[in-house]
């Protein structure tokens, strides 16, 4: 029986609804609260066979590819239209329409070409950037090991679907959110999502209840592995429970979105300039119309068109775009990828760089630096990075002097050998060499211990294979217990340890433990002193009491070291059964009974050393007036120690009078209100235990002070701060896709020195923009002066006589000015570019000095050129009052007008070409300018002279296109005007411009005083600017005390201290702060 048509439609709708419901039903709400078997059943997964390819394709059709969605790229057509229409081109469009209206097709064609060239250049650069970004996204997609059709396959992670069974191993990037069903010592680094630097141990057990009735945090979901994170150690099998935008990473990406394409200060200034020129062109058009009796005839329209064209620097937008493109290429060669061209301009005006510590200021590679052994000498370890090459030096005394002795072999120090053996065996990391570089797989701390063991020739492979250590069981690192233990059995037939051989029995088991000092030391009953194991109770009264030991740990922590304690013990025969039972139960219970009665061996200080070029780069930034701030999740003492090493924190002698040497924790910083932060004289130089919200709050506080901020980040949680900053900088090696999408710039090598180079390149671009804007706008000012004066030159018919024709103006603007402007864009960085303060926000083009430069040089060009026109037309010729129709037709009575126009054109052109070298260094004399360091500029000036000459002597071109006549003796006038321009510009640079600069600086200082309430303190003959805090109440007083207390604990100035306080005053203030804290 046939189905009615309306029922078919109902069935189609039902099928569509069913597919949507099926898709939403494919995702389990809280798989971490469900048993593993039930999760497998829900997703219809098969742990032995996996999904079939057909089923995977069907599911992918419902849920889509496993990718993060960014904003849609603008269609190329709309992108081209965007670059085609703006205020600058609007005037050219009007001139184009006017030229067509009066049948000046040649002029209209030239104007059309100019408009199209500008649009094509802008479109090409933007489209090229979009394609590069897409290519980077494709390259960033990881691979996955998936069980499909009964076979283990290596597939692109994009192809994963919910229900896939995937295998994870050490070093893998997790390709999707998955519920773990089996785990073996599995842990993942979730810093990408959480911002926490330590790894999270995982298991396959079901979460039985929600903590405090709240939704478990990501770190509490121990049975989940999350998309984008990295496996730190171990292996696991999981079932994919979410892909793409439905993963935890996707949810963050959706909430953050991609950084909007906002407008920079340069763009805003160019738009204001374009709008101002547009309005001024309209005013001049009205003036021309009024000067010709408000008659809109052919010649009036042409003159108005000429003035409009003269007002517009037609090539300005193209030159700016090409300048940015040149900067992009230069930065790409220096390991910096620019996602948005506009970020380059902001880079050059940055006043503050807020940098993460790990991986940017440091190597992001932990290395063992110090080893402390009870009663024995301290051991210093040398080396750099992960390369297992280095020496060990033992400290000792020769008389009253400390001495270092190089240790040829650790076998000469049994206590040291025992400690390093623990660090080697109680370790799940590996070290591999590839193409001459060493890479660590696993937790960074354990990798550092593996490097230490290799330096001592006691690496795990050697101990297991050649020296007879057999693995029994592992008690995984626990973030609550903060320790890890392993048990090995010693095979006496293969034992060649030498130092410990006499102490061990056949087949004996030994436990090796490492962890935080406060976790390991309380478990120890003995301590190894001078090669003998002594009861801690007997020696605690001396050098090994808890307080003294903790003091030693704190001293190492203050130097920026992460301290790990090491211990060992022999398992008794009675306990061997318990150890074997623990191993059979796969670590389920009984750990506390085994980890006791340990022998304390000592501790190792690990550090993430600063990169070799970081201190110099930070110092360069300081000399450039840029404040470098550290925002890190590390301990305040660790952060402060490294900040001193890399010159972020100044020594007391150096920074005592300058202030700003503040170290704060995010707890104190977040507690302060915006008003309290604004009352601070200086914001902190180091913020420790930093959260994503803290970073955003710091950026907003800096913005309220008028600062321009660059922020670095790598994890997903850094994306909000990157968006809030003026320049968001993502790390290319360790940064997440979400962070890169939120950033303006990607540092491919993760070096802070690369950021410093990028800032220098930004300053080079900003300086060059000022140079070529001065060059282009000076020509426009000169042309306007020529044409406005030309309104008074009237023939017998009452019409104005052009000193310059429209095509002559276009030639000057496009052929004469544009190549030198591009040459100025290629100027190398100035020698002192990183020794000057940053340009004020929004003041790159909007500053009095540049305005005076443009006005004066434009005035000189205009006056000298129109003077040559007057000499040829009125002194050598009969003037203009007896002529008619001399704007378009060369007749005998108009010949002197055409020659005068040619002299004016030649003067303007050559003066602009000479002015290019004036703009090469706006402050220095032409005698001191370096002419050989910019070949493009020399080529552009030579090309301008070469192309000028034919315009005077080619028939038809000189009279029908440019409306001029060949000249001869007039060249003397042209060269004379060049000489006068040279002398006057040199006089301006030497005598007048320095006063203009001083006046500009005084205005800037006044603006700063109004904004920041700045006063000047004179101390020792040195002027020091310091912000005066506003009147503060209770919160402000407490804030100052907190800062002093924190800073003193880190050994740096608080930034609030005006004078040295007595010890008694400090104690009183400390007590008052404690009481006030308890009251609040």
- Would you name the residues annotated as active-site residues? 356
Phi and psi (nearest 5°) for 509?
A: -100, 140
Q: What is the DSSP letter of 356?
A: -
CA nearest 940: which of 800, 817, 1069? 817
Residues 6+ apart with CB under 8 A from 21: none
Which of 288, 1052, 1077 is CA-nearest to residue 639? 1052
Token pair, residue 853, equals 């430069």
Residues in Cβ contact with 642 at an 8 Å cutoff, skipping those fewer than 6 apart: 357, 361, 362, 560, 608, 610, 630
DSSP letters spanning 266-309: HHHHHHHHHHHHHHHHHHHHHHHHHHTTT---HHHHHHHHHHHH
Chain centroid to CA 23: how far? 39
State the Cα angle at 444 between 446 and 160, rounded to 5°. 110
Distance CA 362, CA 359 (A): 5
Question: Residue 185 in contact with residue 156, Cβ under 8 Å?
Answer: no
What SS3 class is residue 563?
A: strand
DSSP track, 648-702:
SSPPHHHHTTT----EEEHHHHHHS-HHHHHH-SS--SEEES--HHHHHHHHHHH
212-241 in b/e burial notation, b at 16+ Cβ within 10 A? eeeebeeeebbbbbbbbbbbbbbebbbbbb
Phi, psi (rounded to 5 degrees) for 544: -120, 25
Rounded Cα distance between 128 and 149, Å, is: 41
Alpha carbon of residue 596 to chain centroid: 48
b/e 798-809 (16+ beta carbons within 10 angstroms → b): ebbbbbbbbbbb
Question: What are the structure tokens assigned to 482, written together?
Answer: 């903060």
**Pairing of β 509-515 and β 483-490:** antiparallel
Q: How many CB atoms lie within 10 A of CB 113?
A: 12
Phi first, then psi: give them for residue 745, nearest 5 degrees. -135, 140
Q: Would you call 179 helix, strand, or coil by DSSP?
A: strand
What whole-number distance in Å separates Cα of residue 535 and Cα of residue 524? 9
Rg of the chain over all Cα atoms, to the nearest angstrom: 37
Residue 149 tokens, joined: 């059709």
Whether the CB-CB separation of 687 and 666 falls below 8 Å is answered with yes
Q: How many Cβ atoms sit within 10 Å of the Cβ of residue 75? A: 9
* Distance (Å, whole) CA 294 – CA 297: 9
Give how far Cα 780 sits from Cα of 323, 553, 783, 810, Å: 20, 70, 5, 11
627-631 and 686-688 as β-strands: parallel, antiparallel, unpaired? parallel
Distance of CA 304 to the CA centre of its chain: 48
Residues pairing with 534 in the sheet: 527
Please give the Cα distance from 216 to 158 (Å, whole number). 28
- Closest by CA position to 199, among listed 182, 185, 181, 210: 185
| Tokens linked to 120 | 């094509």
| Strands, E assignment, 68-176 | 143-148, 151-156, 165-169
Cβ contact 929:916 at 8 Å: no
């Amino acid at each position: 029986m046939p189905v009615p048509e309306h029922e078919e439609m109902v069935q189609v709708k039902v099928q569509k609804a069913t597919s949507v419901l099926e898709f939403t039903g494919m995702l389990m709400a809280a798989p971490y609260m469900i048993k593993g078997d039930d999760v497998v059943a829900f997703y219809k997964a098969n742990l032995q066979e996996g999904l079939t390819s057909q089923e995977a394709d069907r599911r992918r059709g419902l849920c889509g590819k496993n990718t993060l969605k960014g904003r849609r790229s603008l269609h190329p057509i709309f992108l081209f239209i965007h670059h085609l229409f703006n205020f600058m081109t609007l005037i050219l469009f009007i001139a184009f329409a006017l030229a067509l209206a009066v049948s000046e097709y040649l002029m209209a064609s030239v104007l059309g070409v100019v408009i199209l060239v500008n649009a094509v250049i802008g479109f090409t650069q933007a489209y090229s950037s979009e394609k590069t970004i897409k290519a980077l996204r494709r390259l960033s997609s990881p691979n996955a090991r998936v069980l499909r059709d009964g076979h283990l396959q290596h597939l692109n992670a994009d192809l994963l679907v919910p229900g896939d069974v995937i295998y994870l191993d050490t070093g893998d990037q997790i390709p999707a959110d998955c519920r773990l069903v089996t785990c073996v010592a599995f842990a993942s680094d979730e810093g990408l999502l959480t911002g926490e630097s330590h790894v999270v141990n995982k298991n396959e057990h079901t979460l039985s209840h929600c903590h405090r009735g709240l939704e478990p945090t990501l770190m509490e979901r121990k049975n989940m592995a999350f998309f984008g994170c990295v496996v730190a150690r171990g292996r696991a099998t999981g079932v994919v429970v979410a892909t793409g935008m439905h993963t935890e990473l996707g949810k963050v990406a959706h909430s953050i979105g991609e950084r909007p394409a906002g407008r920079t200060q340069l763009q805003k200034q160019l738009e204001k300039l374009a709008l101002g020129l547009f309005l001024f062109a309209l005013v001049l058009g009205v003036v021309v119309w009024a000067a010709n009796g408000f008659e809109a005839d052919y010649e009036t329209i042409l003159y108005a068109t000429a003035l409009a064209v003269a007002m517009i620097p037609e090539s300005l937008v193209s030159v700016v775009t090409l300048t940015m493109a040149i900067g992009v290429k230069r930065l790409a060669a220096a390991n910096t990828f620019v996602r948005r061209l506009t970020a380059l301009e902001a880079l050059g005006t940055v006043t503050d760089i807020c940098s993460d510590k790990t991986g940017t200021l440091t190597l992001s590679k932990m290395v063992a630096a110090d080893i402390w052994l009870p009663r024995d000498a301290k051991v210093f370890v040398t080396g750099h990075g992960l390369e297992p090459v280095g020496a060990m030096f033992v400290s000792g005394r020769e008389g009253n002097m400390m001495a270092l002795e190089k240790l040829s072999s650790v076998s000469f120090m049994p206590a040291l050998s025992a400690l390093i053996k623990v660090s080697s065996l109680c370790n799940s990391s590996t070290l591999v060499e590839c193409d001459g570089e060493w890479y660590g797989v696993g937790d960074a701390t354990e990798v550092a211990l593996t490097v230490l063991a290799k330096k001592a020739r006691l690496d795990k492979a050697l101990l297991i294979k050649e020296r007879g250590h057999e693995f029994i069981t592992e008690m995984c690192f626990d973030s609550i217990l903060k320790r890890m233990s392993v048990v090995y059995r010693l095979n006496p037939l293969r034992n060649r340890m030498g130092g410990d051989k006499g102490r061990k029995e056949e087949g004996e088991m030994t436990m090796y433990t490492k962890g935080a000092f406060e976790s390991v030391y309380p478990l120890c009953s003995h301590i190894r002193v001078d090669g003998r194991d002594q009861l801690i109770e007997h020696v605690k009264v001396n050098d090994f009491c808890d307080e003294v030991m903790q003091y030693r740990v704190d001293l190492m922590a203050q130097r920026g070291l992460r301290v790990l304690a090491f211990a060992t013990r022999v398992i008794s025969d009675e306990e061997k059964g318990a150890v074997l039972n623990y191993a059979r139960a796969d670590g389920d219970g009984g750990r506390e009974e085994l980890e006791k009665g340990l022998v304390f061996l000592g501790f190792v200080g690990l550090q993430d050393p600063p990169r070799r070029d970081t201190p110099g780069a930070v110092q360069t930034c300081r000399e450039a007036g840029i404040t470098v701030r550290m925002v890190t999740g590390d301990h305040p003492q660790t952060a402060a120690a490294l900040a001193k090493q890399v010159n972020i924190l100044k020594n007391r002698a150096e920074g005592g009078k300058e202030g700003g040497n503040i170290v704060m924790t995010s707890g104190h910083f977040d507690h302060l209100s915006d008003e309290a932060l604004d009352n601070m004289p200086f914001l902190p130089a180091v913020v420790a235990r930093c959260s994503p919200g803290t970073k955003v709050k710091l950026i907003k506080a800096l913005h309220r002070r008028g600062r321009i901020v660059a922020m670095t980040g790598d994890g997903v949680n850094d994306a909000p701060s990157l968006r809030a900053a003026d320049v968001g900088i993502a790390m290319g090696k360790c940064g997440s896709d979400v962070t890169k999408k939120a950033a303006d710039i990607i540092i491919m090598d993760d070096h802070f020195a690369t950021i410093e180079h990028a800032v220098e390149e930004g300053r080079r671009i900003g300086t060059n923009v000022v140079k070529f804007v001065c060059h282009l706008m000076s020509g426009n000012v000169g042309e306007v002066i020529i044409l406005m004066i030309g309104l008074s030159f009237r023939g017998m018919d009452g019409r104005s006589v052009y000193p310059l024709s429209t095509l002559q103006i276009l030639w000057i603007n496009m052929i004469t000015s544009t190549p030198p402007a591009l040459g100025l864009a290629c100027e190398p960085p100035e020698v002192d570019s990183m020794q000057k303060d940053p340009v004020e926000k929004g003041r790159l083009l909007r500053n009095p000095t540049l305005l005076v430069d443009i006005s004066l040089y434009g005035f000189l060009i205009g006056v000298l050129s129109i003077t040559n026109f007057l000499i040829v037309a009125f002194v050598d010729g009969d003037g203009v009052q007896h002529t008619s129709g001399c704007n378009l037709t060369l007749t005998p009575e108009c010949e002197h007008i055409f020659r005068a126009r040619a002299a004016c054109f030649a003067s303007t052109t050559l003066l602009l070409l000479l002015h290019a070298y004036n703009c090469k260094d706006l402050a220095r004399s032409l005698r001191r300018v370096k002419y050989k360091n910019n070949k493009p500029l020399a080529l552009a000036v030579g090309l301008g002279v070469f192309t000028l000459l034919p315009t005077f002597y080619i028939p038809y071109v000189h009279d029908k296109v440019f409306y001029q006549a060949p000249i001869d003796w007039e060249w003397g006038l042209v060269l004379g005007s060049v000489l006068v321009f040279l002398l006057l510009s040199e006089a301006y640079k030497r005598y007048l411009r320095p006063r203009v600069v001083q006046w500009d600086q005084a205005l800037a200082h006044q603006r700063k005083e109004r904004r920041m309430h700045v006063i000047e303190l004179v101390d020792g003959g040195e002027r020091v600017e310091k912000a005066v805090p506003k009147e503060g109440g209770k919160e402000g007083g407490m804030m100052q005390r907190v800062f002093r207390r924190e800073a003193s604990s880190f050994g740096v100035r608080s930034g609030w201290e005006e004078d040295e306080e007595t010890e008694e005053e400090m104690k009183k203030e400390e007590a008052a702060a404690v009481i006030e804290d308890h009251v609040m």
